[in-house]
Amino acid sequence: MCRSRYRELIQRLLRLDAAGIIMPAGKWSSPTDGKRNSNGRSQIVTGDQPLAGTEIEQFVMQQTLFGAHSHIMTVPMWAETGPHFRSLIGYAGSDLECAAGPTVIGKWPVPTTNDEDYKERYFELWRASRFTGYCRATELACRDLLGVEYREENAEAIGQGIARLVGDDPAASYREVLRGRANIRWLIKDSVRSPEETRDELYPSDFVRFNYRDDELLSIRSRADVVRREQWWGRSVHSVGDLVDGLNGSISSCLETGKITCFKIGLPYERSLAFTEPTLHEAEKAFSRLMNVTPGVTLDPSSAGAGVLRMSRCSAEELRPLQDYLVHRYVRRAEAEGLPVQVHTGYLAGSYGLLSNISVMDMASFIMRYPRVRFDLFHAGWPYTEEHAVIGKEFPNVWLNLAWAWTMNPATMERTLDSWLACVPHKKIFAYGGDVGQPMCEYGYAQQARIGIGRVLSKWVQRGDMTIEDAKEVARDIMLLNGCRFHGLEP
């Protein structure tokens, strides 16, 4: 089927009533309500319109998702969502920045919202970027949730639509967008390191769970970092043992909430995943070097006592044994608790990230080192999607995760899922995670993923490599059940 025909059918599936009129926000029946809206019309069969997409594509569009990785904002933050077209930007801000090219010193690539030419410049950059996955997901969310196209001439209508969508009862509209419209059963929210961050008034406990994450500790680099730890943990830190005790205490307090389902390592934003095997002695040597106060060496202006103390700065190489030692202790705690470890691999959000840090292959020996720890490797490892495949195939303790991936590059992810299904047990694949904060974007990213997954499974059926029933079983597993099993949650 040609792309424009497919798009037309999907649009019909997603938003048109029998007369072909865009349904206003809030008029849809929830996908969890069954297949009929309040008029008794099916969402799939829109009046006399033909069925949209193939049978498996329709099935996938209705399939509940497991959000294996999310940064979903709190309900109070959702209540404060600005009635402004920018609220829908999601990750697309990075593409606008990229489209703008190198920035003049002292200037932002996109003017601030207060500038007179903000709207004009913003949409100029939008038009330059609008076929990327980031932008298309925003356009999809805008079309479906607000009933208008994401265009400059609709700027005001988009703002008004957002205000209407958030409405007078933000707790209800938050739930409606995520559970109803996006049809997501669970979101694994990244991340917490104190129990207060999991409170029910922030995140509804019937569909949000959390990972524990403390990259700052695992990439510890200065005496100032240690001082900050002492303040957070309310205890003195004089040794590597004290750091490990503090970390374990923090983890225990979070686990007591009953809402932590996994640990997370996000280190490629800071360093590579090539973890060494340092001894405690090597870690201690690095720690003492870090804490050493040597008059007249280097002033660290961010440290406690700046202007008074002069201390050694440690190179990345010198710090590595300490950081790696902490990573080992962290992962051993996960093993002791029987909890899985999520790992950021692949592309880095934003601009000018150090992309040489992102290869999962660097981590192969670490994965072998912990055969009883379940590793969840993120973002399809993009662009190393085939490296991901071989790691997923080689190691029974590895699961492969397409979180954020459909939005970064929907074209590559169709090829990726196609390839993975042909070589990795499908019970080891998580097909979705929005990896985003704004609920409207979570909706757009979820639908974008469904479209891609539907196309891939449709191909499997068309090639005769799966029956429709096979494809439905795979969809249920990769979209929902694998995530539930992995995180110990009910579907």
Which residue number, 435 or 477, has a Cβ lying nearer to Zn ion?
Answer: 435
Q: Are 392 and 378 in contact (CB under 8 A)?
A: no
Nearest to 380 by CA among 352, 338, 408, 350: 408
Paired with 210 in beta bridges are 189, 260
Amino acid sitting at position 463: R
Residues 134 and 120: their CA atoms lie apart, in Å, by: 20
What's the half-sphere exposure (Cβ side, CA atoms, 13 Å) at 338?
A: 3
Which residue number, 144 or 376, has a Cβ lying nearer to Zn ion?
Answer: 376
Closest residue to Zn ion using C-beta atoms: 435
Paired with 264 in beta bridges are 213, 342
Which residue number, 270 or 282, has a Cβ lying nearer to Zn ion?
Answer: 270
Residues 412 and 432: their CA atoms lie apart, in Å, by: 15
Residues 55 and 67: their CA atoms lie apart, in Å, by: 24
Handedness of CA 344, 346, 349, 352 (dihedral sign): positive
Tokens of 407: 């939005």
* Nearest distance, CB of residue 306 and Zn ion, angstroms: 32
* Nearest distance, CB of residue 296 and Zn ion, angstroms: 42
Which residue number, 73 or 474, has a Cβ lying nearer to Zn ion?
Answer: 73
According to CB under 5 A, which residues from 434 to 473 bind Zn ion?
A: 435
What Cα–Cα distance (Å) separates residue 99 from each residue in 114, 201, 396? 21, 39, 41
* Nearest distance, CB of residue 213 and Zn ion, angstroms: 10
Instruction: Mark residues 348-367: x for contact with Zn ion by CB under 5 A, - for none.
Output: --------------------
Residues 270 and 214: their CA atoms lie apart, in Å, by: 12
* Nearest distance, CB of residue 233 and Zn ion, angstroms: 25
Q: Are 259 and 212 in contact (CB under 8 A)?
A: no
Helices within 167-299 (DSSP H only): 170-175, 215-218, 223-233, 240-255, 280-291
Which residue number, 268 or 454, has a Cβ lying nearer to Zn ion?
Answer: 268
* Nearest distance, CB of residue 145 and Zn ion, angstroms: 22
Which residue number, 17 or 435, has a Cβ lying nearer to Zn ion?
Answer: 435
Residues 482 and 170: their CA atoms lie apart, in Å, by: 31
Which residue number, 74 or 419, has a Cβ lying nearer to Zn ion?
Answer: 74
Which residue number, 213 or 289, has a Cβ lying nearer to Zn ion?
Answer: 213
Handedness of CA 297, 299, 305, 311 (dihedral sign): negative
* Nearest distance, CB of residue 403 and Zn ion, angstroms: 7
* Nearest distance, CB of residue 338 and Zn ion, angstroms: 23
Burial of 106 (0-12, 13-18, 19+ CB in 10 A): exposed
* Nearest distance, CB of residue 71 and Zn ion, angstroms: 6
* Nearest distance, CB of residue 408 and Zn ion, angstroms: 11
Angle (CA) 150 152 158, round 5° = 50
* Nearest distance, CB of residue 459 and Zn ion, angstroms: 29
According to CB under 5 A, which residues from 44 to 83 bind Zn ion?
A: none
Give how many residues touch Zn ion by CB under 5 A: 1
- How many C-beta atoms surround the C-beta of residue 389 within 10 A? 19
Which residue number, 125 or 413, has a Cβ lying nearer to Zn ion?
Answer: 413
> Would you call the peptide bond into 351 cis, given omega within 30 degrees of 0 as the criterion?
no
Which residue number, 223 or 344, has a Cβ lying nearer to Zn ion?
Answer: 344
* Nearest distance, CB of residue 221 and Zn ion, angstroms: 22
Q: What letters, b where the CB count within 10 A reaches 16 and e where it falls short, cover 73-95?
A: bbbeebbebeebbbbbbbbbbbb
Residues in the chain: 491
* Nearest distance, CB of residue 375 and Zn ion, angstroms: 16
Which residue number, 67 or 321, has a Cβ lying nearer to Zn ion?
Answer: 67
Which residue number, 150 or 210, has a Cβ lying nearer to Zn ion?
Answer: 210
* Nearest distance, CB of residue 479 and Zn ion, angstroms: 19
Question: Edge-to-edge, what's the strand order for the sheet holding 260-265?
Answer: 65-70, 184-192, 208-213, 260-265, 341-343, 375-377, 398-401, 429-430
Which residue number, 414 or 435, has a Cβ lying nearer to Zn ion?
Answer: 435
Nearest to 3 by CA among 489, 463, 452, 469: 452
Instruction: Mark residues 411-440: x for contact with Zn ion by CB under 5 A, - for none.
Output: ------------------------x-----
According to CB under 5 A, which residues from 102 to 161 bind Zn ion?
A: none
Binding site for Zn ion (CB under 5 A): 435
